Amino acid sequence: MNILGIETSCDETSAAVLQEGRIRSNVISSQLVHARFGGVVPELASREHERLIVMIVEEALQEANIQKNDLDIIAATAGPGLIGAVMVGLSFAQGLAYALQKPLVPVNHIEAHIFSAFIEDPEGTPPPQGPFISLTVSGGHTLLCLVRQDLSYTVLGRTIDDAAGEAFDKTGKMLGLDYPAGPHIDRLAATGNPAFHDFPRALTSHSKTSRSFKGNLDFSFSGLKTSVRNYLSNHSEEFIQEHLHDIAASIQEAIISVLVEKAVYAALRNNVASISIAGGVSANRGLRERMEAACRHYGIELHVPRTIYSTDNAAMIATMAQLRISRGVTELNNYDVAPFAAFRTQGTSR
């Protein structure tokens, strides 16, 4: 079975071909136009997708050495994401599927991230044999789910304000780092002292407020953003530059410690033996190392996608389509499926 996946939920234009369960191509074009604005500009993102989509799809097909008529399934992100950006990829997929008279599978972008750690490739890892805890962390989402073998899932916790990736980008911007700031903070933190300053970790066992952890699996990072801003305003530019690595390490510690604590607690509370982390922030070195250490300590199996599958990509869209088809999905040939912007808590991926 040949599946073409298309992803345009935010600022990556991507197309991939999944052939007999193996990724044969995964072309990703990251939009650089947003860097000077310090964040993604939705209208510019939509226009860049429109400019690139044909070229990216053709490149993916060429790299996989197949023709359009060889495709069996067309899959595309239907949401969540920037609605204009989602519409570009989904509309293109609808038109292509209709023209080729091939089935169309709309894919939930977040659900694709959840299963991205299990994308089949020569070094791939099979999904766990039982339920697992999924932590999806990106610039727009921070979501903790209990995922079952039939692909259904229950949302255990989510961000009530800023997402983890957004916290990285906003605090990094305060430090004068280029967008996206997450990789820059991770690089600086590698040689910094994470205990240099104790930034707040809301809704955790380390919280200094009366709203202590008490099993709360939601996330909140807006207080961290405010705390960093206040801290920087109370110190000179010379002090900040002198201790830039330590400040970055302290910020990263405040973010990843929350993610690790809640994911591990969710696994232990639900008697689950596996954790998966996915999304752009899952590429963070500090998060991977801390999660690996915590999982080793508690005897939990950890699944992490290869770095290329951590950020938004079409390989995860094609893979999710294959998973849904293998579970008897019935939404094929739905050429007029509507895009959606916000994450839908459906309780199931069907």
Answer yes or no: are the C-beta atoms of 339 and 90 closer than 8 Å.
yes
Burial group, residue 329, by CB count within 10 angstroms (0-12, 13-18, 19+): middle
| Dist CA 148 CA 133 (whole Å) | 9
Q: In what order do the strands lie in the sheet with 301-303?
A: 153-158, 142-147, 132-137, 274-278, 301-303
Q: Which helix (H) or strand (E) holds 90?
A: helix 83-100
**137 in a known ligand binding site:** yes
**186 in a known ligand binding site:** yes
**313 in a known ligand binding site:** no
**349 in a known ligand binding site:** no
| Residue 82 identity | L
Beta pairing class for 73-79 and 142-147: unpaired
Answer yes or no: are the C-beta atoms of 74 and 333 closer than 8 Å.
no
**270 in a known ligand binding site:** no
**198 in a known ligand binding site:** no
Neighbours of 250 (CB within 10 A): 21
**2 in a known ligand binding site:** no
**For tokens 């089935």, what's the residue?**
103
Neighbours of 204 (CB within 10 A): 20
Residues with Cβ < 8 Å from 162, sequence gap 6 or more?
Answer: 170, 220, 221, 222, 225
**113 in a known ligand binding site:** yes
Secondary structure (DSSP) of 168-212? HHHHHHHTTPPSS-HHHHHHHHTTS-TTSS----TTSTT--SSS-
**312 in a known ligand binding site:** yes
Q: Residue ranges for the binding site? A: 109, 113, 136-140, 169, 182, 186, 284, 312
Q: Residue ranges for the binding site for substrate? A: 136-140, 169, 182, 186, 284
Q: Residue ranges for the binding site for Fe cation? A: 109, 113, 312
